[in-house]
Amino acid sequence: MTRQSQALTLWIHPALGVEDVAQVSKELGKKILPAWHRLLARGDLIPQKPKHFYAKAAYLMHQVTMPAIAATEASFQVIGFNEQDFWLKVSPVHLRPDRDTLVLIPEAELAMTADEAKSLKFAFNRHFEAEGLQLEGTDQAWFLRLPQVIDFQSDTLDSLKYASMQGRYPTGASAGYWRRLMNEAQMLFHSHPVNERRREQGQLDINSVWFWGEGQLDLAKMTSRNDAQIWSNHPYLIGLAKLTQAHQLAPVDSYIQWQQQVDFNVSRHHLMQVLTPSLSSVQDYLIWLEENWLSPIAAGLVNDQLHSVYIDFDYTMGWLVEPRCLKRFWRRSIPFKMIKE
């Protein structure tokens, strides 16, 4: 396998607003952002439907359908995982009253410690043991295993962050049952010593759980990707790597680091989830992206290190850039007017 056969997908998630990026890109110009303007002006635009994180991850891993979120993540975090079971992801959350509704604050914003998670998980399992429900997984990644498929549909937790819960609760024939369990968990957690201590310390209490990510795996519908490497620590992408026989590695901060760590004899396709550092402005973001990724990528396309690069900013279009694209001279500006978030 040669270096020329390498294909890199650069998934920059989350990206900044396209209008802000377009404006600052124009202001900085080609002298400061030469690779940015060259790649995005000459690459082929690839239309795509707007997708949430999990559907986009499956799409970029060339899966025909999106494998169920809970089952995919449980596949490597639950001892005795069985793809024939139906799985729910259970996320501890804070529900804050706001006028006539509730606003959800997800677990990622609550700074829950490992000891707190372990204690709340134990309380949940003891309380719901009589109903045959037991949280499985790690202390900080909770799942419910159900022996049969249930009629239950939910939104992703990401889409509910700081959102009103009005009209956003799960639906389906069994939704009422799970809404009751959610209310019981809310009462259980409210008086728990973990939350009493958190309130005393001025922290948001972990006052409920959210059931989501429902589904069952169909391995027959999954496309093997043993020729791919996934550079990400996200649980869903780790699960996808396991289920598709792809190789999973920790993400890196730059193209140079990727070149130093990649084994070109193992894979020919690479999905890189780029996590941008905390930057104070769009200008800093574009300059960071230029120096750490786009400039060396442009060089890699010229010197045959790369066969192709697909750049995805979570907009309605992505960019496919091959060496032949860089020879174009007639595309003068980046077509941001055609692109939406």
The residues spanned by each domain of the chain are: 6-65+222-338, 69-215
116 contacts 197 by C-beta, under 8 angstroms: no
Note the pLDDT of residue 179: 94
Q: Which residues pair with 271 in a beta bridge?
A: 9, 230
Plot region of 162 (φ>0 → left; ψ -120 to 50 → alpha; else → beta): left
Residue length, the chain? Answer: 341
Under the banding of pLDDT at 50, 70 and 90, the label for residue 2 is very low
Global pTM reads 0.94
Note whether 143 and 124 are within 8 A (CB): no
Give the chain's mean pLDDT: 93
220 band by pLDDT with thresholds 50, 70 and 90: very high
Q: Using the predicted structure, report yes or no on whether residue 56 has a pLDDT greater than 50.
A: yes
340 or 197: which leads in pLDDT? 197
Give the position of tokens 């968990």: 185
pLDDT tens sequence across 177-190: 999 999 999 999 99
